[in-house]
Homo-oligomer: A and B are copies of this chain.
Amino acid sequence: MIRFTTAGESHGRALLAILEGVPAGLPLAAEDVGRDLARRMRGYGRGARMQIEADQAQLLSGVRAGETIGSPIALLIENRDWANWEDVMAPGAREDAPRRRLTRPRPGHADLAGALKYDRADARDVLERASARETAARVAAGAVCRRLLAVFGVEIGSHVVELGGVVARRAPLPSPLNDAADGSPVRCLVAQAEPAMIARIDAARDAGDTVGGVAEIVARGVVVGLGSHVAWDRRLDGRLAGALMSIPAVKGVEIGLGFGAAALPGSEAHDAIERAAQEGGHTTGGFSRRTNRAGGLEGGMTTGEPLILRAAMKPIATLMRPLDSVDLDTGRPAKAQSERSDVTAVPAMGVIAEAMTAIVLAGAYVEKFGGDAVAEMRRNFDGYLAQLRARQALWEPLG
């Protein structure tokens, strides 16, 4: 079982993740994590903070001499801006400390609901944790899981398929996906769409506005039979959807054709089953599909086809031209307060969604294959592949 927990405030000392259940013997370096942290910070439309950050993860535990040892992996990411915020965010009580209170909650953010729920007079106590900054810790944990998944031939990437209303889906997708996507400032694979997306971002910035979009996450090389149909909370589709919808500002999640499947007849919505060509089918049990409308998940289990997920992100809730709100202290109408913010974070959201996907998938591999050392887990995995092959050995040879 893989578990992960994060802690840390946006302008606090540091962000933290503890990732637990990773087998021993996995090669791991701080740079493996740093690479994804850097990818999360890029993207056209980010504000000034992204320059400040230059996030680096420290491996506080669980890794020794370049290898995991089976114990919990603690990842710490210092907030470089801490010196400027220490007096505001320090844990210690100090009468004269400046608060930078936020009392005019931003529509679309956690400010209002959080202040009421936790009975806080200062919504900063909420927004500091609700900030998307927290996702740096998720990306750090996800980077470790990505490293584990690579042992089993899984590769996870993402690209932006819609930004500020500009739609740009492309098929077939290049492989590895991120080599191509990371080259674009908006992580978009369709060259013609890129300038239009950038123009939307620029226009939004000029208008003091923000934009949202949709990222598609693709996991290739996933073996057939992860997740399960036997219980609602063992289904991998539900677990993945829950993980993606938990990303701040995500309001929709799709698998495969997603909402599009609702409008198609059954005869056009499923994926005919075929026998795999001689050279393929190692991880699909010898089968292949004519299409992949299911996005690699049937009955809550992986089919062995690429996992295709999409997450829709609403525009960032902090606008430079703020929305109407109410002052918590007086009950009077007021403009929402502003925090420094980005115009869009859709490219970054794709990277975060990769991380969440990696964490869920790594958990599913650990569940199916067990094992406390990477070599043991890999041996169990190979045994499963052999079991799949044994079934095919009874078949007539391919003509």
Contacts and interface: CB of A to CB of B under 8 A. Distances in A.
A175 interface: no
Contact of A118 (B246, B298, B329, B373): B373
Interface residues of A, number: 178
A3 to B, nearest CB: 7
A176 interface: no
A260 to B, nearest CB: 8
A71 B230 contact: yes
A61 B9 contact: yes
Contacts of A366: 370
Nearest to A66: B93
A7 to B, nearest CB: 4
Interface string A375-387: 1100110011001
Given A23-B118, A70-B230, A165-B263, 4 more contacts: A14-B61, A239-B242, A269-B315, A272-B325
A102 interface: no
Contact of A298 (B7, B110, B226, B240): B110
B266 A259 contact: no
B245 A237 contact: yes
A359 to B, nearest CB: 9
A24 interface: yes
Contact of A93 (B67, B275, B300, B332): B67
A301 B110 contact: yes
